[in-house]
Structure 1
Amino acid sequence: MEKLCNLNHLLLLFSLLVFPVLINSKTTPTQDEQQSEIITRFQEYLRINTAQPFPDYEKSTQFILTQANSLSLESQVIEFVKAKPLVILKWPGSDPSLPSILLNSHTDVVPSEHSKWVHPPLGAHIDEQGNIFARGSQDMKCVGMQYLEAIRKLKSSGFHPKRSLYLSFVPDEEIGGHDGVEKLAHSDVFKSMNVDIVVDEGLASPNENYRLFYAERTTWWLVIKSTGAPGHGAKLYDNSALENLFTSIEIIRRFRASQFDLVKAGLKGEGDVISVNMVSLKAGTPSPTGFVMNLQPSEAEAGFDIRVPPTANAESLEKRIAEEWAPASRNMSFEVEQFKEKGTNVDYLGRPLITATDSSNPWWTLLEEAIKKANGKVGKPEIFPASTDVYYFRQVGLPAIGFSPMANTPILLHDHNEFLNQAEYLKGIDVYMSIIKAYTSYIPPGRENLQRDEL
C-alpha cells in the first residue's frame, strides 16, 4: 500500500510539472507560427477587391473592424459620403490632455491588367523568394496592416501609450481623396481627435535607406486644344489643328527633358522638379472602319499630367502654359484641373505646405531616431513625387510625414506585378513598433516638469 501511495504521489508530481509545459507548448505559438499568422492576415486583406472604380469597401471595413476587435481597440465608422466608409480606430493613452498621434492609410487600390501579371493581382501569391504579389502590397495595404500588427506586438509586450493613438483607414485616395480625408480633415470629428502629427504613406526604396517625405507635389491636369481649317490629306498648309498641337507637344517635350536632365545628373530629386507627361492624344475624323484617312481634322487635343513641387513658382508655370504651350496666337486653348481644391501650395494660414525636417520639428527627429533604433537606415529627406491624402492634413496646418518601411525593394506602385517581400514586411512591423513607442511616449520640454508638479 505504501509503495502504491508513493507511486500516486510521483504521478501527481509528474502531472503538475509536465502538463503545464505541454499545455503552454500548445497555446503559445512559436515565432515561426506567429509570423505565419501575420502574413496570413496580410494576405487576407490583400485579397479583398478594393480596386477603383468599384472598391468593396463593405468587406474591407468588416475586416478592419474584426482586427480592431481582436486588439480591443475603440472603433467608429463614418460615412461623409454614402457607401464610402472611413474607419477610425483608437488606442487610448494614459494622459488624455496630451495631443494624439494619427497613422493614416487608404483602403482603395488602382485597377490591374490581370493578363500582364505573373500571378493574379488579388491572389497574394508568395513565390520561392518570399515575395508577396498583389495589388496594394506596396500601395498601401501593407502599411495599414503593419500599424495593426505593431499594436498587437506592443500590447503583448505590456506597453501602454501616454498619448492616444489613432489609426484611420480611408476611401478614395486613388481618385483624389475628396470623399475621404478631405472631408475628415475639415470635420468636427477630426477636431475632437486633437491630432498633433500625422504619418501617412511613402515609397519603396531600391537601396538600404528608408525614404522620408516632408512635402509633395500638387497635381495639375492640363488639356491643350487646337483648332484649324480642315483640309485634304494630301495638302500642305500652315496652322492646321494637328500641326499647331505638335508644335506645342515639342515645346513641352523640351521643357520635360530640361527638368529630367536635372534628376539624371543628380542635381535634384524627382520630387524637386516639375514633371510633365503626355497621357492622352485625341484627333482624327471617325469613320465606320476607323478614321477618315484623306481628311485633316479641324480639332485636336492632348492631355498632360503635371506635378508641381511646393518650391516652384506656380504663376510662372501658368504664364508658360498660356504664352508658350497653348498660345491663342496659334489657335490654342487650354484647361488646367488642379484637383481644384488640391491646387494650392499653401495652408489655410498662407504657409508653404512643407513639414520641417530640422530640430524645430521634434516629430521628424523622433521618427529618424525610432527607425535607427529598429536597425533601419534613413536617407535624405525628400519631396514626394506624386500626391497623397497627406496634402489635406498639411492644408489644415498639421505637420505630416510620408513613410513606408520598404527598403531594398523596387518601386512598383501602380505597376504590373506589384510585390513586397515578406521579410521586409515583417521588419517594417518592428519599425512601426519603435515609432509608435517613441511618438506616444513623447512629452514636450517643460511639460515634464509640469507633470512632476502635478504629481
Structure 2
Amino acid sequence: MASPFLGRFFVFSIIFFLQSQGEEEESPITRFQQYLGFKTAHPNPNYTAPISFLVDQAQSIGLTTRTMEYVSGKPVLLVTWLGSDPKLPSILLNSHLDSVPAEADKWIHPPFSAHRTVDGLIYARGAQDDKCIGVQYLESIRNLKSRRGFSPLRTVHISYVPDEEIGGFDGMAKFAASSDFAELNVGFAMDEGQASPGDEFRVFFADRTPWELVIRAEGIPGHGAKLYDNGAMENLMKSVELISMFRETQFDFVKAGKAANSQVISVNPVYLKAGTPSNTGFVMNMQPSEAEAGYDLRLPPMADPDVIKTRISQEWAPSIRNMTYTIKEKGKLRDHLGRPIMTATNDSNPWWSVFKQAVEATGGKLAKPEILASTTDARYIRTLGIPLVGFSPMINTPILLHDHNEFLKDTVFLKGIEVYESVISALSSFEGVSDQAI
C-alpha cells in the first residue's frame, strides 16, 4: 500500500508538470516556435495559417487588425496600436511572412520543426529572416501594455507582407503605393536587418537596387575551323572580358578596405547561353549565330544609373559589334523628390537620435550604419521619402539567412524583445516631428 506522502507527492508532481506545460505554452519562445512552424516557403507559401495566428496574438493583446489583398491570395496584415494623438505621424514596423525554400535533407533538424536544442538554439527556416522580428514586435507591445501600462502618443502599426523573398512586387510594392498606406501617415519606419557575429547591433540605412542585364550577340554562323570577324561568340566573349574587368576594379576597392561590398556596384555573371544543340550535346564544328549572357547587377544608392547605362550601351553591348541588351530595373535609385534612396543617420534626422538612444538604453551598442548588400521591402517605403532603418536585434549570432540550418538562440530572441520595448516606447513617445519627411 502506498504511503499518503507518496500519494501527495505524486499529485503535486502532476500539478507542477501541468503548470509548467501551461507556462511553456504561453511563453514568447513557444509562440515564436509556433510561428516558425508555418510552411511559408516559396514556391507555394501558406499565408492563411500564419495570418490567423498573428491576428489571434494581436487581438489577445488588445490590438486591432485589418487584412488587405492587392493581389488575390497574397494578403497584407496590418496590426494597429492606437496612439493618444493619432494626428501625429505614425510608426510602422514591417516584416515579411514568406521565406526561401529549405533543402530538408541538408538540415540537422527539419526546417519547419522549430526544434529547440538543450543549449537554446532554435532551428527553423525564417528564424533569422525574418519571423523573429514579426513575433518580437508583438511580444514587446504585450510587455509594454501588460507590465508597464504604457500608452503610446503616436499610433504604432505593424505590417506583415507577402512575397518579399521574390521581390515584394505583389506585397509591399502594392501596399506602399495604395491609399491604405497613405492613410497611415507614417513618419518613421523599421524593417528587417541582419544578424551580427560581434557584440554590436547592425543597422542599415539603404539597400542596393538590383538590375537584371541580358546581353546578346549575333554573327555569321560557319565552320568551327574558320576564323570569322565579329562572330557571335567572339563578340560576346569580348563583352564578358570587359565586364569582368569592371567587376575586378569594383572588387579592388573592397579588397583594399576602401569600401564595403554594399558600397560598390557588383556585377556577377549568372548564365551563358550559346551553341547549336545536338543529340549528344552540341555541334562542335559549327560556330553559332547567337550568344547570350545574363548578369545580376546591384547598385548602391549613390550610383548614377545613367552612367551605368552609357557604359552598357557603348562598351559592354555596343550595336557596332552586332550586340543588343535588355535591362530589367527591379526598383528605383531615387525617391519621389529625385534624391538617393537612403535614410540619414546623423543629427539631420531627429528620428535617428531617438532610435539610437533607445537601443543604448538597453545596454546595446550600434555598429557603423551600413548599406544592405541585397534588397528588402524597405526600398518601397524609403522611396516615399519616409525615413526607415533596417534592424534585427541579433548579436553574437552567425549570419544564416537563406543558409542551411538557420537558427536563432533563445536568449538572443528574448533580448531582442527587450530592445524593441525600448525602441517602440521611445519612438511612439517622440514629440519632435510632426510632418517632416527626410
TM-score by length of 2: 0.90
One-letter identity of the residue aligned with 1:335: T
One-letter identity of the residue aligned with 1:162: L
Structure with more helix by fraction = 1
Q: Which residue of 2 aligns with 1:396?
A: 384
How is 1:206-245 mapped onto 2 (pairs within 5 angstroms)? 206-245=197-236
Matched, 1:429 2:420: no
Q: Which residue of 1 aligns with 2:348?
A: 360
Q: Which residue of 2 aligns with 1:59?
A: 49
**Cα contact 2:98–2:165 (8 A) shared by 1:** yes
How is 1:248-263 mapped onto 2 (pairs within 5 angstroms)? 248-263=239-254
How is 1:93-132 mapped onto 2 (pairs within 5 angstroms)? 93-132=83-122
Distance 1:114 1:293 in 2: 40
417-426 or 430-439, which deviates more: 417-426
Shift of 1:76: 0.5
One-letter identity of the residue aligned with 2:80: K
Q: Deviations over 1:235-290 (max 9, x none)?
A: 44443322322222222122112212212222112221111111222222233343
Residue of structure 2 aligned with 1:170, choices 120, 144, 161:
161
Q: Aligned in 2, Cα 1:446/1:325: closer, same or farther, shift over 3 Å?
A: closer
Shift of 1:115: 3.2
Residue of structure 1 aligned with 2:137, choices 133, 147, 159:
147
Shift of 1:86: 0.3
Matched, 1:49 2:46: no
Q: Aligned in 2, Cα 1:45/1:295: closer, same or farther, shift over 3 Å?
A: farther
Q: Deviations over 1:381-406 (max 9, x none)?
A: 11121221111111112111111111
Q: Deviations over 1:9-61 (max 9, x none)?
A: xxxxxxxxxxxxxxx9999979x956982222212212211112211111221
Q: Secondary structure at the match of 1:80?
A: strand
One-letter identity of the residue aligned with 1:376: G
Q: Deviations over 1:68-104 (max 9, x none)?
A: 1221210000011111100000111122232211001
Distance 1:46 1:173 in 2: 17
One-letter identity of the residue aligned with 1:378: L
Distance 1:301 1:446 in 2: 52
Matched, 1:415 2:403: yes
**Cα contact 2:83–2:152 (8 A) shared by 1:** yes
Shift of 1:297: 2.3
50-59 or 111-120, which deviates more: 111-120
Shift of 1:105: 0.6
Distance 2:383 2:24 in 1: 40
Residue of structure 1 aligned with 2:238, choices 225, 238, 247:
247
Residue of structure 2 aligned with 1:81, choices 71, 74, 94:
71
Q: Which residue of 2 aligns with 1:5?
A: none
Distance 2:226 2:433 in 1: 77
Matched, 1:287 2:304: no
Q: Secondary structure at the match of 1:148?
A: helix
Q: Deviations over 1:365-421 (max 9, x none)?
A: 111111111121111111121221111111112111111111222222222322222
Q: Aligned in 2, Cα 1:49/1:445: closer, same or farther, shift over 3 Å?
A: closer
One-letter identity of the residue aligned with 2:358: A
Q: Secondary structure at the match of 1:380?
A: coil
Matched, 1:440 2:428: yes
Q: Aligned in 2, Cα 1:286/1:434: closer, same or farther, shift over 3 Å?
A: same
Q: Aligned in 2, Cα 1:412/1:281: closer, same or farther, shift over 3 Å?
A: farther
Q: Secondary structure at the match of 1:90?
A: strand
Distance 1:194 1:333 in 2: 44
Residue of structure 2 aligned with 1:133, choices 101, 123, 126:
123
One-letter identity of the residue aligned with 1:98: L
Q: Aligned in 2, Cα 1:269/1:35: closer, same or farther, shift over 3 Å?
A: farther
Matched, 1:319 2:310: yes
Q: Aligned in 2, Cα 1:311/1:106: closer, same or farther, shift over 3 Å?
A: same
Shift of 1:163: 1.3
Q: Which residue of 2 aligns with 1:451?
A: none
Gaps of 5+ in 1: 1-23, 448-455
TM-score by length of 1: 0.86
Q: Secondary structure at the match of 2:74?
A: coil
Distance 2:434 2:208 in 1: 36
One-letter identity of the residue aligned with 1:411: I
One-letter identity of the residue aligned with 1:385: A
Matched, 1:161 2:152: yes
**Cα contact 2:223–2:285 (8 A) shared by 1:** yes
Matched, 1:271 2:262: yes
Q: Aligned in 2, Cα 1:396/1:28: closer, same or farther, shift over 3 Å?
A: farther
**Cα contact 2:24–2:30 (8 A) shared by 1:** no
Shift of 1:171: 0.9
Shift of 1:234: 4.3
**Cα contact 2:188–2:351 (8 A) shared by 1:** yes
Residue of structure 2 aligned with 1:303, choices 285, 294, 302:
294
One-letter identity of the residue aligned with 1:428: G
Q: Aligned in 2, Cα 1:289/1:69: closer, same or farther, shift over 3 Å?
A: farther
Shift of 1:196: 0.7
Q: Secondary structure at the match of 2:27?
A: helix
Distance 2:318 2:103 in 1: 38
**Cα contact 2:89–2:434 (8 A) shared by 1:** no
Gaps of 5+ in 2: 1-14
380-389 or 233-242, which deviates more: 233-242
Shift of 1:325: 1.3
Q: Aligned in 2, Cα 1:165/1:253: closer, same or farther, shift over 3 Å?
A: same
**Cα contact 2:113–2:124 (8 A) shared by 1:** yes
Larger Rg: 1
**Cα contact 2:355–2:423 (8 A) shared by 1:** yes
Q: Which residue of 2 aligns with 1:11?
A: none
